[in-house]
Chains A and B, each alone.
Chain A
Amino acid sequence: MSVTFAPAEPSIAGVGDYIALMKPRVMSLVVFTAFVGLLIAPGHLHPVIGLTALICIAVGAGAAGALNMWYDADIDARMARTAARPIPAGRLAPGEALAFGLTLAGFSVVVLGLLVNLIAAALLALTIAFYVVVYTMWLKRTTPQNIVIGGAAGALPPIIGWVATTGSVAVEPVVLFLIIFFWTPPHFWALSLYRADDYARAGVPMLPVVAGEQPTRRQILLHTLVLAPLGTAPWLLGYAGPLYGVVAVVTGAAIIALALRVRAEQRGYAASKQMFAFSILYLFLLFAMLLADRFSGGLFGHWAA
Protein backbone atom coordinates (compact mmCIF):
# COMPACT_ATOMS: atom_id res chain seq x y z
CA MET A 1 0.00 0.00 0.00
CA SER A 2 2.87 2.40 -0.59
CA VAL A 3 1.44 3.74 -3.85
CA THR A 4 -1.30 6.32 -3.64
CA PHE A 5 -4.00 6.41 -6.28
CA ALA A 6 -6.23 8.96 -4.63
CA PRO A 7 -7.88 11.19 -7.17
CA ALA A 8 -8.30 14.82 -6.21
CA GLU A 9 -11.16 15.07 -3.73
CA PRO A 10 -14.12 15.14 -3.88
CA SER A 11 -14.93 11.72 -5.15
CA ILE A 12 -16.31 10.87 -8.57
CA ALA A 13 -16.95 7.24 -7.60
CA GLY A 14 -20.32 6.03 -8.79
CA VAL A 15 -22.48 3.24 -7.44
CA GLY A 16 -21.08 0.90 -10.10
CA ASP A 17 -17.57 1.41 -8.75
CA TYR A 18 -18.68 0.36 -5.29
CA ILE A 19 -20.41 -2.69 -6.74
CA ALA A 20 -17.19 -3.57 -8.59
CA LEU A 21 -15.33 -3.32 -5.26
CA MET A 22 -17.50 -6.13 -3.94
CA LYS A 23 -16.25 -8.53 -6.65
CA PRO A 24 -19.74 -9.60 -7.77
CA ARG A 25 -18.52 -12.68 -9.66
CA VAL A 26 -16.71 -14.06 -6.62
CA MET A 27 -19.70 -13.08 -4.52
CA SER A 28 -22.07 -15.06 -6.74
CA LEU A 29 -20.02 -18.25 -6.22
CA VAL A 30 -19.86 -17.61 -2.48
CA VAL A 31 -23.62 -17.11 -2.28
CA PHE A 32 -24.27 -20.20 -4.39
CA THR A 33 -22.10 -22.49 -2.26
CA ALA A 34 -23.50 -21.00 0.95
CA PHE A 35 -27.03 -21.53 -0.39
CA VAL A 36 -26.26 -25.19 -1.03
CA GLY A 37 -24.84 -25.57 2.49
CA LEU A 38 -27.92 -23.90 3.91
CA LEU A 39 -30.33 -26.02 1.91
CA ILE A 40 -28.82 -29.48 2.35
CA ALA A 41 -28.61 -29.04 6.13
CA PRO A 42 -31.17 -30.97 8.14
CA GLY A 43 -33.77 -29.04 10.07
CA HIS A 44 -36.11 -26.18 9.36
CA LEU A 45 -35.23 -22.64 8.49
CA HIS A 46 -37.82 -20.02 7.64
CA PRO A 47 -37.27 -18.70 4.09
CA VAL A 48 -36.96 -15.13 5.37
CA ILE A 49 -34.24 -16.14 7.83
CA GLY A 50 -32.52 -18.16 5.08
CA LEU A 51 -32.64 -15.19 2.73
CA THR A 52 -31.30 -12.95 5.50
CA ALA A 53 -28.38 -15.32 6.03
CA LEU A 54 -27.58 -15.34 2.31
CA ILE A 55 -27.74 -11.53 2.10
CA CYS A 56 -25.38 -11.25 5.07
CA ILE A 57 -22.98 -13.78 3.56
CA ALA A 58 -23.10 -11.93 0.22
CA VAL A 59 -22.43 -8.57 1.87
CA GLY A 60 -19.66 -10.11 3.99
CA ALA A 61 -18.03 -11.50 0.83
CA GLY A 62 -18.38 -8.06 -0.75
CA ALA A 63 -16.71 -6.50 2.28
CA ALA A 64 -13.80 -8.92 1.99
CA GLY A 65 -13.51 -8.08 -1.73
CA ALA A 66 -13.48 -4.33 -1.03
CA LEU A 67 -10.84 -4.66 1.68
CA ASN A 68 -8.77 -6.86 -0.65
CA MET A 69 -8.94 -4.21 -3.37
CA TRP A 70 -8.02 -1.51 -0.85
CA TYR A 71 -4.90 -3.37 0.26
CA ASP A 72 -3.91 -4.74 -3.13
CA ALA A 73 -4.34 -1.53 -5.15
CA ASP A 74 -0.60 -1.36 -5.83
CA ILE A 75 -0.54 -4.93 -7.14
CA ASP A 76 -3.74 -4.45 -9.14
CA ALA A 77 -2.27 -1.40 -10.87
CA ARG A 78 0.60 -3.48 -12.25
CA MET A 79 -1.50 -6.36 -13.56
CA ALA A 80 -3.35 -6.13 -16.88
CA ARG A 81 -6.22 -8.26 -15.52
CA THR A 82 -6.89 -5.90 -12.61
CA ALA A 83 -5.61 -2.48 -13.74
CA ALA A 84 -9.12 -1.27 -14.57
CA ARG A 85 -10.43 -1.86 -11.04
CA PRO A 86 -11.85 1.30 -9.42
CA ILE A 87 -8.84 2.19 -7.22
CA PRO A 88 -5.98 1.72 -9.70
CA ALA A 89 -8.12 3.37 -12.37
CA GLY A 90 -8.33 6.45 -10.10
CA ARG A 91 -12.11 6.51 -9.82
CA LEU A 92 -12.13 5.67 -6.13
CA ALA A 93 -9.76 6.67 -3.32
CA PRO A 94 -8.24 3.87 -1.19
CA GLY A 95 -9.75 5.40 1.94
CA GLU A 96 -13.22 5.16 0.43
CA ALA A 97 -12.73 1.46 -0.26
CA LEU A 98 -11.41 0.88 3.26
CA ALA A 99 -14.37 2.66 4.87
CA PHE A 100 -16.81 0.86 2.60
CA GLY A 101 -15.28 -2.55 3.32
CA LEU A 102 -15.15 -2.07 7.09
CA THR A 103 -18.73 -0.78 7.19
CA LEU A 104 -20.05 -3.71 5.19
CA ALA A 105 -18.02 -6.21 7.22
CA GLY A 106 -19.39 -4.82 10.49
CA PHE A 107 -22.98 -4.71 9.29
CA SER A 108 -22.95 -8.18 7.72
CA VAL A 109 -21.55 -9.88 10.83
CA VAL A 110 -23.75 -8.00 13.32
CA VAL A 111 -26.95 -8.51 11.32
CA LEU A 112 -26.17 -12.22 10.81
CA GLY A 113 -25.58 -12.55 14.54
CA LEU A 114 -28.75 -10.67 15.49
CA LEU A 115 -31.15 -12.22 12.99
CA VAL A 116 -29.78 -15.72 12.32
CA ASN A 117 -27.30 -17.08 14.86
CA LEU A 118 -24.06 -16.20 16.57
CA ILE A 119 -21.96 -19.15 15.35
CA ALA A 120 -22.76 -18.31 11.74
CA ALA A 121 -21.83 -14.69 12.46
CA ALA A 122 -18.55 -15.75 14.07
CA LEU A 123 -17.74 -17.92 11.05
CA LEU A 124 -18.50 -15.04 8.68
CA ALA A 125 -16.22 -12.76 10.69
CA LEU A 126 -13.53 -15.45 10.58
CA THR A 127 -13.94 -15.79 6.80
CA ILE A 128 -13.60 -12.05 6.20
CA ALA A 129 -10.62 -11.76 8.57
CA PHE A 130 -8.93 -14.81 7.04
CA TYR A 131 -9.33 -13.51 3.50
CA VAL A 132 -8.23 -9.96 4.29
CA VAL A 133 -5.57 -10.44 6.96
CA VAL A 134 -4.17 -13.95 6.44
CA TYR A 135 -4.48 -14.19 2.65
CA THR A 136 -4.36 -10.61 1.33
CA MET A 137 -2.05 -8.93 3.82
CA TRP A 138 0.20 -11.84 4.68
CA LEU A 139 0.31 -14.89 2.41
CA LYS A 140 -0.32 -13.37 -1.01
CA ARG A 141 2.88 -11.37 -1.02
CA THR A 142 5.11 -13.81 0.84
CA THR A 143 4.59 -17.42 -0.23
CA PRO A 144 3.69 -19.48 -3.32
CA GLN A 145 1.40 -21.41 -0.97
CA ASN A 146 -0.76 -18.25 -0.78
CA ILE A 147 -3.79 -19.65 -2.55
CA VAL A 148 -3.46 -23.08 -0.96
CA ILE A 149 -3.91 -21.74 2.58
CA GLY A 150 -5.88 -18.66 1.55
CA GLY A 151 -8.36 -20.91 -0.23
CA ALA A 152 -9.83 -21.74 3.17
CA ALA A 153 -11.61 -18.38 3.15
CA GLY A 154 -13.42 -19.20 -0.09
CA ALA A 155 -14.24 -22.69 1.19
CA LEU A 156 -16.02 -21.59 4.37
CA PRO A 157 -19.36 -20.30 2.94
CA PRO A 158 -21.05 -23.76 2.72
CA ILE A 159 -20.23 -24.25 6.40
CA ILE A 160 -21.71 -20.83 7.23
CA GLY A 161 -24.85 -21.78 5.28
CA TRP A 162 -25.12 -25.10 7.10
CA VAL A 163 -24.61 -23.43 10.49
CA ALA A 164 -27.27 -20.83 9.64
CA THR A 165 -29.77 -23.70 9.43
CA THR A 166 -28.55 -26.04 12.15
CA GLY A 167 -26.61 -23.86 14.56
CA SER A 168 -23.71 -26.31 14.60
CA VAL A 169 -20.97 -27.75 12.38
CA ALA A 170 -21.10 -31.31 11.02
CA VAL A 171 -19.12 -33.60 8.73
CA GLU A 172 -21.22 -32.87 5.62
CA PRO A 173 -20.34 -29.16 5.25
CA VAL A 174 -16.74 -29.90 6.18
CA VAL A 175 -16.57 -32.22 3.16
CA LEU A 176 -17.90 -29.36 1.01
CA PHE A 177 -15.25 -27.14 2.58
CA LEU A 178 -12.57 -29.66 1.61
CA ILE A 179 -13.87 -29.88 -1.96
CA ILE A 180 -13.56 -26.10 -2.45
CA PHE A 181 -10.27 -26.07 -0.52
CA PHE A 182 -8.66 -28.59 -2.89
CA TRP A 183 -10.39 -27.06 -5.92
CA THR A 184 -8.88 -23.60 -5.36
CA PRO A 185 -5.17 -24.32 -6.03
CA PRO A 186 -5.57 -26.12 -9.39
CA HIS A 187 -8.11 -23.48 -10.44
CA PHE A 188 -5.82 -20.51 -9.71
CA TRP A 189 -2.60 -22.20 -10.72
CA ALA A 190 -4.11 -22.96 -14.13
CA LEU A 191 -4.85 -19.23 -14.45
CA SER A 192 -1.46 -18.19 -13.12
CA LEU A 193 0.33 -20.38 -15.66
CA TYR A 194 -0.76 -18.14 -18.51
CA ARG A 195 -0.74 -14.96 -16.40
CA ALA A 196 2.71 -15.59 -14.90
CA ASP A 197 4.17 -12.43 -16.48
CA ASP A 198 1.45 -10.36 -14.88
CA TYR A 199 2.11 -11.84 -11.45
CA ALA A 200 5.88 -11.49 -11.87
CA ARG A 201 5.49 -7.81 -12.82
CA ALA A 202 3.36 -7.23 -9.75
CA GLY A 203 5.82 -9.10 -7.51
CA VAL A 204 3.28 -11.70 -6.42
CA PRO A 205 5.07 -15.00 -5.68
CA MET A 206 2.65 -17.28 -7.49
CA LEU A 207 3.90 -20.83 -7.98
CA PRO A 208 4.79 -20.48 -11.71
CA VAL A 209 6.75 -17.31 -10.94
CA VAL A 210 8.69 -18.80 -8.03
CA ALA A 211 9.00 -22.49 -8.89
CA GLY A 212 8.50 -22.48 -12.65
CA GLU A 213 5.97 -24.02 -15.00
CA GLN A 214 6.67 -27.72 -14.65
CA PRO A 215 6.41 -27.87 -10.85
CA THR A 216 3.16 -25.90 -11.13
CA ARG A 217 1.76 -28.34 -13.68
CA ARG A 218 2.73 -31.22 -11.39
CA GLN A 219 1.06 -29.55 -8.42
CA ILE A 220 -2.13 -28.96 -10.44
CA LEU A 221 -2.24 -32.69 -11.20
CA LEU A 222 -1.53 -33.73 -7.60
CA HIS A 223 -4.23 -31.47 -6.17
CA THR A 224 -6.69 -32.61 -8.83
CA LEU A 225 -5.98 -36.24 -7.89
CA VAL A 226 -7.10 -35.37 -4.37
CA LEU A 227 -9.99 -33.20 -5.53
CA ALA A 228 -11.75 -35.68 -7.82
CA PRO A 229 -12.20 -38.46 -5.19
CA LEU A 230 -13.21 -35.80 -2.65
CA GLY A 231 -15.87 -34.67 -5.10
CA THR A 232 -17.53 -38.06 -4.85
CA ALA A 233 -17.49 -38.05 -1.02
CA PRO A 234 -20.99 -36.54 -0.53
CA TRP A 235 -22.38 -39.46 -2.53
CA LEU A 236 -20.16 -42.07 -0.82
CA LEU A 237 -21.11 -40.68 2.59
CA GLY A 238 -24.76 -41.01 1.68
CA TYR A 239 -26.01 -37.44 1.77
CA ALA A 240 -26.14 -37.05 -2.00
CA GLY A 241 -28.01 -39.31 -4.38
CA PRO A 242 -26.94 -41.35 -7.41
CA LEU A 243 -27.42 -38.39 -9.78
CA TYR A 244 -24.78 -36.50 -7.83
CA GLY A 245 -22.59 -39.62 -7.78
CA VAL A 246 -22.70 -40.03 -11.56
CA VAL A 247 -21.92 -36.34 -12.19
CA ALA A 248 -19.12 -36.35 -9.61
CA VAL A 249 -17.49 -39.44 -11.13
CA VAL A 250 -17.81 -38.26 -14.74
CA THR A 251 -16.69 -34.67 -14.13
CA GLY A 252 -14.00 -35.94 -11.75
CA ALA A 253 -12.61 -38.15 -14.50
CA ALA A 254 -12.79 -35.22 -16.92
CA ILE A 255 -10.92 -32.84 -14.63
CA ILE A 256 -8.21 -35.46 -14.01
CA ALA A 257 -7.89 -35.95 -17.77
CA LEU A 258 -7.52 -32.18 -18.19
CA ALA A 259 -4.93 -32.02 -15.39
CA LEU A 260 -2.98 -34.76 -17.17
CA ARG A 261 -3.10 -32.68 -20.35
CA VAL A 262 -1.90 -29.62 -18.42
CA ARG A 263 0.93 -31.75 -17.00
CA ALA A 264 1.92 -32.97 -20.48
CA GLU A 265 1.61 -29.57 -22.16
CA GLN A 266 4.99 -28.47 -23.47
CA ARG A 267 4.12 -25.38 -25.47
CA GLY A 268 1.31 -22.87 -25.17
CA TYR A 269 -1.43 -22.75 -22.58
CA ALA A 270 -4.44 -24.23 -24.34
CA ALA A 271 -4.84 -27.01 -21.77
CA SER A 272 -4.27 -24.60 -18.87
CA LYS A 273 -7.00 -22.29 -20.15
CA GLN A 274 -9.35 -25.24 -20.57
CA MET A 275 -8.50 -26.40 -17.06
CA PHE A 276 -9.28 -22.96 -15.64
CA ALA A 277 -12.62 -22.75 -17.44
CA PHE A 278 -13.62 -26.35 -16.72
CA SER A 279 -12.73 -26.07 -13.04
CA ILE A 280 -15.43 -23.41 -12.64
CA LEU A 281 -17.96 -25.63 -14.39
CA TYR A 282 -16.85 -28.62 -12.29
CA LEU A 283 -17.47 -26.87 -8.97
CA PHE A 284 -20.72 -25.39 -10.20
CA LEU A 285 -21.99 -28.79 -11.36
CA LEU A 286 -21.14 -30.52 -8.09
CA PHE A 287 -22.99 -27.95 -6.01
CA ALA A 288 -25.86 -27.72 -8.50
CA MET A 289 -26.29 -31.50 -8.22
CA LEU A 290 -26.41 -31.27 -4.43
CA LEU A 291 -29.13 -28.69 -4.91
CA ALA A 292 -30.96 -30.87 -7.44
CA ASP A 293 -30.80 -33.75 -4.98
CA ARG A 294 -32.33 -31.61 -2.30
CA PHE A 295 -35.08 -30.36 -4.62
CA SER A 296 -35.96 -33.89 -5.67
CA GLY A 297 -35.82 -34.98 -2.04
CA GLY A 298 -38.63 -32.73 -0.81
CA LEU A 299 -37.52 -29.15 -0.78
CA PHE A 300 -40.80 -27.78 0.42
CA GLY A 301 -40.84 -29.95 3.49
CA HIS A 302 -37.43 -28.57 4.33
CA TRP A 303 -38.47 -24.95 3.99
CA ALA A 304 -41.67 -25.26 5.93
CA ALA A 305 -41.22 -23.22 9.06
Chain B
Amino acid sequence: MTAMSEAMDEPQTRIKLTEQQLRARRARSIAIAVSLGALVVLFYIVTLVKGPGVLVRPL
Protein backbone atom coordinates (compact mmCIF):
# COMPACT_ATOMS: atom_id res chain seq x y z
CA MET B 1 0.00 0.00 0.00
CA THR B 2 2.84 2.35 0.84
CA ALA B 3 4.50 1.93 -2.54
CA MET B 4 1.20 2.44 -4.28
CA SER B 5 0.42 5.69 -2.49
CA GLU B 6 3.94 6.91 -3.19
CA ALA B 7 3.45 6.23 -6.88
CA MET B 8 0.17 8.10 -6.82
CA ASP B 9 1.77 11.07 -5.12
CA GLU B 10 4.40 11.43 -7.86
CA PRO B 11 3.64 14.10 -10.42
CA GLN B 12 2.33 12.55 -13.63
CA THR B 13 4.61 12.86 -16.61
CA ARG B 14 2.46 13.31 -19.67
CA ILE B 15 3.44 14.00 -23.23
CA LYS B 16 2.17 17.35 -24.32
CA LEU B 17 1.15 17.16 -27.96
CA THR B 18 2.18 19.99 -30.21
CA GLU B 19 -0.36 21.78 -32.35
CA GLN B 20 0.87 19.89 -35.43
CA GLN B 21 0.60 16.53 -33.68
CA LEU B 22 -2.93 17.33 -32.52
CA ARG B 23 -3.97 18.34 -36.04
CA ALA B 24 -2.42 15.20 -37.53
CA ARG B 25 -4.11 12.97 -34.95
CA ARG B 26 -7.48 14.61 -35.54
CA ALA B 27 -7.12 14.17 -39.32
CA ARG B 28 -6.18 10.49 -38.87
CA SER B 29 -9.10 9.92 -36.52
CA ILE B 30 -11.54 11.43 -39.00
CA ALA B 31 -10.07 9.32 -41.82
CA ILE B 32 -10.48 6.13 -39.75
CA ALA B 33 -14.07 7.09 -38.88
CA VAL B 34 -14.90 7.76 -42.54
CA SER B 35 -13.33 4.45 -43.60
CA LEU B 36 -15.25 2.46 -41.01
CA GLY B 37 -18.45 4.31 -41.91
CA ALA B 38 -17.88 3.49 -45.57
CA LEU B 39 -17.38 -0.17 -44.67
CA VAL B 40 -20.67 -0.25 -42.77
CA VAL B 41 -22.48 1.40 -45.71
CA LEU B 42 -20.85 -1.06 -48.12
CA PHE B 43 -22.03 -4.06 -46.12
CA TYR B 44 -25.50 -2.53 -45.83
CA ILE B 45 -25.81 -1.94 -49.58
CA VAL B 46 -24.44 -5.37 -50.49
CA THR B 47 -26.93 -6.94 -48.09
CA LEU B 48 -29.73 -5.09 -49.88
CA VAL B 49 -28.38 -6.12 -53.29
CA LYS B 50 -27.92 -9.78 -52.41
CA GLY B 51 -31.03 -10.11 -50.28
CA PRO B 52 -31.26 -13.49 -48.57
CA GLY B 53 -28.48 -14.67 -50.87
CA VAL B 54 -26.00 -12.66 -48.81
CA LEU B 55 -25.42 -15.76 -46.75
CA VAL B 56 -24.63 -17.84 -49.83
CA ARG B 57 -21.00 -17.40 -50.76
CA PRO B 58 -20.06 -19.34 -53.87
CA LEU B 59 -16.43 -20.21 -54.41
Contact = CB atoms under 8 A, between A and B. Distances in A.
Interface string B16-39: 010011001101100100000001
A119 B24 contact: no
B28 A13 contact: yes
A174 B27 CA distance: 42
Majority-rule SS of B interface residues: helix
Interface residues of A, number: 23
B49 A46 contact: yes
Given A10-B17, A18-B31, A52 B46 contact: yes
A10 B27 contact: no
Interface string A98-121: 000000000100010111011100
Interface residues of B, number: 19
A15 B25 CA distance: 9
Interface string A7-26: 00111111100100000000
A171 interface: no
A201 B46 CA distance: 49
B11 interface: no
A14 B15 contact: no
Contact of A167 (B28, B49, B58): B58
A118 B57 contact: yes
B17 A119 contact: no
A49 interface: yes
Given A10-B15, A111-B39, A117 B57 contact: yes
A115 B31 contact: no
B57 A48 contact: no
Given A107-B39, A115-B46, 12 more contacts: A10-B21, A11-B25, A12-B20, A14-B28, A15-B27, A48-B45, A52-B46, A55-B42, A114-B57, A117-B58, A117-B59, A167-B58
Interface of B: 15, 17, 20-21, 24-25, 27-28, 31, 39, 42-43, 45-46, 49-50, 57-59
